[in-house]
């Protein structure tokens, strides 16, 4: 080791590389290291060279120093000296240049997989590899402090939120109005044409697929493919360089994107992957945490191997103080300094399983997040499962968490494909009180969705019975087989007008169910434009037109876009359809309960009706006179009442409208049987009138307040 420049001790916290006092203070945690070298990387005659500086100060297991004369833009990494004991999970190997887990900029990619392996031969019994990884791995970069203002946070109430799941690159890569050099970037997301589309669509928040710096898994590198989705994190504080218009300016451009969306009243939610990293299992690369201090970061078994609760080779240990600190520091940085409004935590159940044991909603990491003074004021969304049976915890998170409600997805799909009766769907339509009321949560805790990045698009959901993932290079073995889809009579693309018309209608039924249900709806980018992945339900490695949003117009895409806008506008203007409290049968000023379920005969549903799985028709009446929604000043607001009719049968059915106890007239406002949802006839219908509801139809009727 060498220690040529004069260094000062500096402070251990905060971790990372921070410009201060005419230099940069470096700080990295490792409790297993016997020595740590800071490596400053530069160029000389076209080759990378490094200057190694021994860090002699160690406080709380953190190695630190202040190096004068260093400025932002300096590339660096760490080399760790210490024991090589794979059976304890300890793999110190100074031949491997390591990325700082707290780096706020990371540059470059893995270019030589063999150079990243810390071992020779077998990862558990082999000797340390002496192949130097400099030049084959990404580098940390010192980032300047501060940056541009991201503007006032929109702070949209959860009950008014409409989420839009979107991939930064894929959303704008083909957008004709975005300049070519900005397509697929943070600045592309900030382009006025893109922001206008989001505003007109009626979404209030974008949920961005992972934007943390990620690295491709070994299997993908070997086959020349890439992890397009980004669920393979390398650095939890560094925005991904690949989404920058100008590499090296990703932090500034990220701020610009957030500011542009905030100015339009749109919140920014990040999909974050704190359950595993890109280093995979013990046979994987040593890029950062594994070489620094694997026992402090990862769940390991008694033999030193990684415990895999995620299906990705390793699992971060949510019971480790090192992990708790890293996760909360990452979230707080993006929230406080980059303006982010909330987080969706991927495979969040793994974060509630310290030591790899049973799920605990009050685990150290989940509690640290919800008790943090900054993070507790952001939207917190859990994906309530991991890759194991123990991890399936829909409804099981703490009171401050909203959850992706997979039961909403499954229930809506099953009802509209004719697989089940309405019993489960009724819970989903009314906010999933069976899952969230008992813990004291609100209906908006249910993140309702029909589709997500993981699975079929809306178009494919009504066009394919089976997955078609051959392009992924895994012989169609990847991706779920539990799609609950229906191709409407033909597999894949077809010219049959009857099949196409039914697919369009089914897509409208599913969208209507999503946006007219109580809870927080989530749309997926491109679904409103009839996007297809050609039956691929797992295109995680396809950075091409299979995954990118197609912005070309045709009548089907234009009609579905208009229909979706109509739905979001209805939801925004109708407080009764997005109530922040659960229905409980309370009497209202109309004299009727706040929620009533109807048979096709116009009579109320009885107990035995809910257990008849042959039932394909359901009526839902919501009393808007006392809907418990409030305006921004906290005052209760009244609304009209609503009658939602859903019929998933293969044949038409006669439906009798409720009596005048539920309204003096019923006005059609949405009909899934027309391309844009505009009812064929808008004249009011009298109470008790019998109408014919066509097969596969969703119909929304408004019952105006007296005098309205």
Separation between Cα atoms, residue 638 and residue 628, nearest integer Å: 8
Which pairs with CB-CB distance under 8 Å and at least 24 residues apart come from 18-24?
18/145, 19/70, 19/71, 19/72, 19/142, 19/144, 19/145, 20/66, 21/66, 21/68, 22/68, 22/69, 23/66, 23/67, 23/68, 23/69, 23/70, 24/66, 24/67, 24/70, 24/71, 24/72, 24/74, 24/142
Separation between Cα atoms, residue 85 and residue 90, nearest integer Å: 5
Q: How many CB atoms lie within 10 A of CB 253?
A: 24
Alpha-carbon dihedral 472, 476, 477, 481, rounded to 10 degrees: 110
- Catalytic residue chosen out of the listed positions 159, 271, 329, 346: 346
Alpha-carbon dihedral 3, 9, 15, 16, rounded to 10 degrees: -40
DSSP state of 32: S
Closest CA to 532 of 481, 482, 487: 487
Separation between Cα atoms, residue 676 and residue 565, nearest integer Å: 9
Tokens 């009706």 map to which residue?
609
**Residue 130 CB burial class (10 angstroms; 0-12, 13-18, ≥19):** exposed
Q: Are the C-beta atoms of 514 and 202 separated by less than 8 Å?
A: no
Tell me the torsion sign for CA atoms 234, 238, 240, 246. negative
Closest CA to 443 of 458, 428, 455, 457: 428
CA distances, 495 to each of 65, 133, 372 (Å): 68, 55, 55
Q: Are the C-beta atoms of 403 and 446 separated by less than 8 Å?
A: yes
Q: How many CB atoms lie within 10 A of CB 273?
A: 24
- Catalytic residue chosen out of the listed positions 306, 383, 460, 639: 383
Q: Are the C-beta atoms of 473 and 223 separated by less than 8 Å?
A: yes
Angle made by CA atoms 57, 59, 63, in degrees to the nearest 5: 50
- 3-state class (DSSP) for residue 114: helix
Tokens of 273: 């992957």
Closest CA to 313 of 343, 270, 345, 350: 350
Q: Is 50 a catalytic residue?
A: no
- The half-sphere exposure of 50 on its side-chain side, counting CA atoms within 13 A, is 23
Separation between Cα atoms, residue 418 and residue 616, nearest integer Å: 7
Q: Is 271 a catalytic residue?
A: no
- Number of helices and strands in the chain (H, E): 15, 28
Catalytic residues: 346, 383
């Amino acid at each position: 080791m060498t220690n040529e420049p004069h260094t000062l001790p500096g402070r251990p916290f905060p971790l990372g590389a921070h410009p201060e006092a005419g230099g940069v203070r470096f700080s990295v945690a490792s409790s297993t290291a016997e020595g740590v070298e800071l490596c400053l990387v530069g160029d000389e005659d076209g080759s990378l060279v490094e200057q190694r500086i021994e860090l002699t100060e160690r406080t709380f297991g953190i190695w630190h120093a202040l190096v004068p004369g260093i400025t932002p833009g300096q590339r660096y990494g760490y080399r760790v000296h210490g024991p090589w004991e794979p059976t304890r999970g300890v793999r110190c190997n100074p031949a491997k240049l390591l990325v700082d887990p707290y780096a706020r900029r990371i540059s470059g990619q893995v270019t030589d997989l063999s150079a990243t392996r810390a071992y020779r031969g077998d990862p558990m019994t082999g000797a340390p590899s002496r192949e130097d990884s400099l030049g084959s791995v990404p580098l940390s970069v010192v980032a300047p402090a501060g940056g541009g203002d991201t503007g006032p946070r929109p702070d949209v109430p959860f009950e008014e939120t409409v989420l839009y799941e979107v991939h930064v690159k894929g959303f704008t890569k083909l957008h004709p109005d975005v300049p070519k050099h900005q397509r697929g970037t943070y600045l592309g997301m900030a382009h006025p044409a893109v922001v206008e589309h989001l505003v007109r669509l009626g979404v209030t928040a974008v949920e961005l697929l992972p934007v943390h710096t990620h690295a491709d898994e070994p299997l993908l590198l070997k086959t020349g493919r890439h992890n397009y989705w980004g669920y393979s994190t390398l650095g939890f504080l560094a925005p991904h360089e690949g989404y920058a218009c100008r590499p090296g300016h990703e932090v500034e451009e990220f701020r610009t994107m957030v500011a542009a969306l905030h100015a339009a009243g749109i919140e920014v939610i990040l999909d974050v992957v704190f359950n595993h990293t890109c280093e995979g299992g013990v046979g994987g690369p040593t890029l950062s945490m594994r070489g620094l201090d694997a026992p402090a970061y990862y769940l390991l078994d008694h033999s030193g191997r990684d415990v895999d609760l995620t299906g990705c080779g390793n699992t971060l240990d949510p019971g480790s103080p090192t992990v708790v600190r890293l996760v909360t520091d990452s979230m707080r940085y993006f929230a406080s300094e980059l303006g982010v409004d909330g987080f969706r935590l991927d495979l969040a159940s793994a974060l509630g399983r310290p030591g790899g044991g049973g799920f605990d909603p009050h685990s150290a990491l989940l509690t640290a997040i919800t008790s943090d003074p900054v993070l507790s004021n952001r939207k917190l969304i859990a994906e309530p499962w991991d890759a194991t049976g123990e991890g399936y915890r829909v409804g099981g998170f703490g009171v401050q968490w909203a959850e992706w409600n997979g039961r909403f997805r499954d229930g809506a799909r099953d009802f509209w494909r004719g697989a089940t009766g309405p019993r489960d769907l009724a819970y989903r339509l009314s906010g999933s009180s069976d899952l969230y009321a008992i813990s004291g949560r609100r209906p908006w805790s249910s993140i309702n969705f029909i589709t997500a990045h993981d699975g079929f698009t809306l178009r494919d959901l009504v066009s394919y019975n089976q997955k078609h993932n051959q392009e992924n290079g895994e012989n169609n073995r990847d991706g779920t087989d539990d799609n609950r889809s229906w191709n409407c009579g033909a597999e894949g693309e077809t010219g049959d007008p009857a099949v196409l018309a039914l697919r369009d209608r089914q897509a409208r039924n599913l969208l209507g169910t999503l946006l007219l249900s109580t809870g927080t709806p989530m749309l997926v980018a491109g679904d409103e434009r009839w996007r297809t992945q050609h039956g691929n339900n797992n295109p995680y490695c396809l950075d091409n037109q299979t995954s990118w949003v197609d912005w070309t117009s045709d009548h089907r895409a234009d009609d579905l876009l208009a229909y979706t806008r109509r739905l979001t506008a209805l939801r925004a203007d109708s407080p009764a359809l997005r109530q922040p409290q659960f229905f409980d049968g309370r009497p209202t000023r109309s004299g009727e309960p706040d929620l009533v379920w109807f048979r096709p005969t116009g009579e109320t549903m009885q107990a035995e009706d809910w257990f008849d799985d042959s039932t394909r028709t359901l009526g839902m009446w919501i009393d808007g006179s006392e809907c418990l929604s409030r305006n921004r000043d906290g005052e209760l607001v009244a609304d009209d009442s609503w009658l939602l009719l859903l019929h998933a049968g293969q044949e038409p059915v006669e439906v009798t409208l409720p009596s005048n106890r539920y309204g003096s007239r019923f006005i059609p406002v949405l009909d899934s049987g027309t391309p844009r949802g505009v009812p064929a006839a808008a004249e009011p219908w009298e109470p008790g009138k019998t109408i014919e509801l066509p097969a596969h139809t969703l119909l929304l009727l408004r019952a105006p307040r007296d005098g309205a």
